Each structure stands twice: as C-alpha cells, then as structure tokens.
Amino acid sequence: MKDPGLRGRAELRTLDLTGVNGTLVRRIDEAVASAADAADARDRLEALCWSYRVASPRLLPADERADLLVSSCVLSQVSWPQRVYARRVYERRFSSLPGPVELRWARHFTYLELRLQQDHLTSLAGVAEQVALTCDVVSHPTTLDASGTERKSGRSIPTLGVTSLLERVPKLFEVAAHGAWEWGFAKAGRTSQGARKDVEGVRLEQAPVGGAV
C-alpha cells in the first residue's frame, strides 16, 4: 500500500482463525511425549481429533462490525498446519507412519479438518454486512504425457470434503452471487506432479432472522 493516507488507515491484527491452534499444538506434543509406544501415540492423537470442541472464534470484537469481510483461499488451509505438525512430531519420535495405518490416520485428521473448516465458516457470520468467500474446492494432480503436454491424472482430491463450496455454506447465510474458475496452481515437470484447482467464490449476506437452522 503505497499511499501514506491509506496506509495510515490500515490496522494489522494478529488472529488465530481456528481459536484453538495454541491449545491443539500443546496437546499434540503431550500426546506423543507421554505415549508408551507408537501405537499408543496414534491412539492418543486419534482421540484428540475426535474430542475437539470449541466455540467458533469471533473475528471482530463485539462492538465492531465491518462493511466487507473477505476470506480468500483460507478455508482449505485453516487446519493444514496442525495436521502437518502432528505428523512431524510423531515421526520425529517413532519414524514414518506404517503403510497399513496411513489411511486410518488420514481419516481421523480429515474429521478434525472438516470441523475446523466449518467453525471458520460459522465465524464469518454476524461481523460484516457482506462476506466474500473464495476457496479451492477440488485439486487435480497433473503430469506430463509423452509429448510433454500437461494433463490431469484422472485423480481428484476434494479439499472441503464436497464437490461444491455451496454445500459447505451454513444456513446462517444467503448466497447473493456465485462463480467458479480453474486455477493453474503448479506446473508439472518431468519428475514432479503439478496441480490444477477448481476454485469457487460466493458473496454472502446474512440470512433473515428466523431463517437460520
């Protein structure tokens, strides 16, 4: 922001969008450190995923309200750091996850991920007149074919557990506008995968009183 006048009106605030990050990180550390063995550590981390409960964090103080709130490509990433951190802490003590338990690990952390995502969506309500929400919804790995042309591999990864962002919007909101586009996230190389992402955006307005479920 080059304009000094505009820069002077900007206020930066540090905020944990999950409302639980610090506590969750400490409990991950405790679960792994206190475990008798690798299996016990996995059991403790799984229990932590399923016991997660927290009231949606408030993005603004109760006496403040914004004209516009923008959540741009945050939703799919809001719980990714905790998932990566848990695996790093586990593997630092017990080495890599055994192949047979990989899917079980993913299932438990996906549950936690979806809960954190929904809490972020809920936290957008009641703090602004208009909400602009964008997110990558499906990721398509890409590879180079024999001619060097980048193509989708045929596998797709839903980052929100659904095929459309509209399926995750709480009934606290009405969808005033909706759009979708493709994002060339990363180009494939001869020895590396690329990715294209289906991205969606919505403009949300508060649902009428009595309309939320």
Residue 68 lies in a domain: no
- 10 and 86 in one domain? yes
- Write out the residue range of the structural domain in which residue 20 sits: 1-63+75-123
- 56 and 43 in one domain? yes
- 185 and 160 in one domain? yes
What is the band of 55 on the pLDDT scale with cuts at 50, 70, 90? low
Within 10 Å of residue 67's Cβ, how many Cβ atoms? Answer: 7
- 107 and 208 in one domain? no
Residue 138 lies in a domain: yes
Contact 196, 153 (CB under 8 A): no
* Last residue within a domain, chosen from 87, 102, 123: 123
Contact 150, 144 (CB under 8 A): yes
- 195 and 175 in one domain? yes
For residue 208, CA distances in Å to 1, 22, 32, 41, 133 come to 36, 35, 46, 46, 19
pLDDT of 63 above 80: yes
Contact 36, 53 (CB under 8 A): no
- 191 and 140 in one domain? yes
Q: φ, ψ for residue 139 (rounded to 5)?
A: -105, 135
| pLDDT of res. 25 | 93
Answer with the residue of higher pLDDT: 95 or 179.
179
| pLDDT of res. 212 | 46
Residue 69 lies in a domain: no
CB under 8 Å to 183, separation ≥6 — which residues? Answer: 136, 196, 197, 198, 199
- 165 and 203 in one domain? yes
What is the band of 18 on the pLDDT scale with cuts at 50, 70, 90? confident
Q: What is the mean pLDDT of residues 174-190?
A: 95
State pLDDT tens for residues 131-148. Answer: 999 999 999 999 999 898
What is the band of 213 on the pLDDT scale with cuts at 50, 70, 90? very low
- 115 and 134 in one domain? no
Answer with the residue of higher pLDDT: 9 or 49.
49
State pLDDT tens for residues 23-37. Answer: 899 999 999 999 999
- 186 and 152 in one domain? yes
pLDDT of 104 above 80: yes
- 81 and 19 in one domain? yes
pTM across the whole model: 0.85
- 110 and 22 in one domain? yes
- 115 and 13 in one domain? yes
In total, how many domains does the chain have?
A: 2
